[in-house]
Amino acid sequence: MNFGKDTPVGFIGLGVMGGGMAHCLLRQGFRLHVSGRRPEALAPFVAAGARAEASPAGLARACNLVILCLSDDAAVEAVLFGAGGLAEGLAAGSCVVDTSTISASSARAFGQRLQAQGVTFLDAPISGGQQGAESGTLNTMVGGPAEALEACKPVLQAFCKTITHVGAVGAGQTVKSCNQVAVAGALLGVADAIALAKSQGVDPAVMRDVLLNGTARSFVLEKHGQRVIAGDYKPGFRVSLMRKDLRIALKTAADAGAVLAGAPVAEALLDELVRDGRGELDWAVLGQRVQEKRSA
């Protein structure tokens, strides 16, 4: 089966990221069906042309392709298998694409349960932030059958610039964890560089400009480094969510006997921020927490 603009597409999880993705689908003419716990959250999408369904099960009966963008493992499991969940309405041959960030082990378990009723599951976590979701320039790393991904690509391309098949179900979540570990380590380095510059009376903005023209250049230095220097922590991707993602990565590593060096440091600092009441700020505030440590 190939999914395209003539195929009803279901979407559950219309938050900061999912909302942007859903609007991309609507702007490009897809027949979108939405479901959620709060009717007022669905209203902007219905006004833009989506059809509201009363429950995930009802949405599944109307759509052979369903996209999820939810907060954690428990939320995905509840939408899939809870009372009135998708599994009650999904027909054999349907496909669920989960763009949430959850553990690889949960993705594999969900995939196996759906496979038993003839439904394909793709774990397709995304990166690119709120701006990427709204502009349709996200990146996704997809685990699951390659042929199912090919069938879904015309839909995923509505909100993704890059779509990469990385292996079997669960591999997408593993690669996403690798991404989060890498960017957390990079932000720790940028924050340390800012702290060092300040300690020597060097303007951190000047230091950043110099580094951007050399081997230290990175997306994190360019984007998050500027946020740290300016003290701009209006949320794009929140502290609480990055802490959740790093905890997933750390547990995945521990279960496999792998040792991570930088991720535990970043997770501990993010946890301090959550306990300080800053969990809803952009996770770049991790850089500020490092500055606070240096001045303590």
Active site residues: 176
CA atoms of 225 and 194, how far apart (whole Å): 8
Contact 107, 98 (CB under 8 A): yes
Among left, alpha and beta (phi > 0; psi -120 to 50; other), residue 257 is left
Taking the CB of residue 201, how many other CB atoms lie within 10 A of it?
A: 6
- At residue 24, the 3 state secondary structure works out as helix
End-to-end CA distance of the chain: 60
CA atoms of 226 and 208, how far apart (whole Å): 8
* Partners of residue 127 on adjacent β-strands: 139
Q: Which of 230, 240, 250 is nearest to 272 (CA)?
A: 240
Q: How far is CA 285 from CA 15, 122, 168, 193, 289, in A?
A: 21, 32, 35, 15, 6
Residues in the chain, total: 296
CA atoms of 7 and 94, how far apart (whole Å): 11
CB-based burial, 13-31: b 16+ in 10 Å, e otherwise: bbebbbbbbbbbbbeeebb
- DSSP letter (8 states) at residue 87: G
